Amino acid sequence: MTPIQEEAARVDFPGKPKLVSTLDAAVRLQDEAAITAALREALVALFHDPEVQLPAGVLQPINDHYARRELYVSPELGYSVVAMTWGPGQGTQVHDHDHSWCVESVWQGRLAITQYEPAERDGDRWRFDAMGTIEASPGTAGSLIPPHEYHAIRNACDASVAVSVHVYQRPLVRCRVFVPEKPGATEGWMRREERVLATDAA
């Protein structure tokens, strides 16, 4: 086992075996579109299953950043499951998923998710077109398949905590984030930066 797998294996919660077997069945499908569609259906069903409950610690936000807590890494199929906890106002910059697919579901609160498509590129300078924002509520799920993997996520509520569950093709340990050249600007040129992703204790 890798250190990531060992850490995730120590995380226990009600319904974990059911969650793992359900996700395994979806990931064993061959086609990426079929896998992500099956995972969307699986996460919605698991959200409504009273036997499956996330660890209590996942509901607790961290003041200075959104939390990433690894719940499971499949030693056979390679996918990982991460719970993210979003305090009021917390969110991400525009980012990619290191060229891997991902399925995301909301378990608590509401998340504003904006998808982007590259419009221009000049070395490490990129400009994106925003393709629209959805406000996702509990029990909903969406997916990203490269090359359509650029997006930003934000807690849509300024007063409550949001929690989401993400299934990645493989453990997401790095990504590229895109930082506006003009602070606070939502359009115009952005500079691409490599980012190593940390995980928080579950």
DSSP-based three-state secondary structure for 140: coil
N- to C-terminal Cα separation, the chain: 19
- The predicted structure's pLDDT at residue 17: 96
Sheet holding 67-73, edge to edge: 67-73, 80-86, 162-168, 102-108, 141-144
Q: How many Cβ atoms from other residues are within 10 Å of residue 125's Cβ?
A: 13
Q: How many Cβ atoms from other residues are within 10 Å of residue 169's Cβ?
A: 22
Peptide bond into 147 cis (omega under 30): yes
Average pLDDT, consecutive stretches of 10 residues, N- to C-terminus, the chain (202 residues): 67 95 96 97 97 94 95 96 96 96 97 96 93 96 95 94 98 95 79 94 82
The reported pTM is: 0.93
Measured N-to-C along each axis, helices 32-47 and 16-27 cross at an angle, to the nearest 10 degrees, of: 160
- The predicted structure's pLDDT at residue 69: 96
Q: Give the model confidence (pLDDT) of 46-99 as tens digits.
A: 999 999 999 999 999 999 999 999 999 999 999 999 999 999 999 999 999 999
Query: How far is 79 from 59, CA to CA, in rounded Å?
Result: 23
Nearest in space to 97 (alpha carbons), one of 158, 164, 176: 176
Which domains does the chain show, CATH number per domain? Answer: 3-196 (2.60.120.10)
Query: How far is 18 from 157, CA to CA, in rounded Å?
Result: 31
Query: How far is 18 from 182, CA to CA, in rounded Å?
Result: 47
At 127, the amino acid letter reads R
- The predicted structure's pLDDT at residue 202: 77
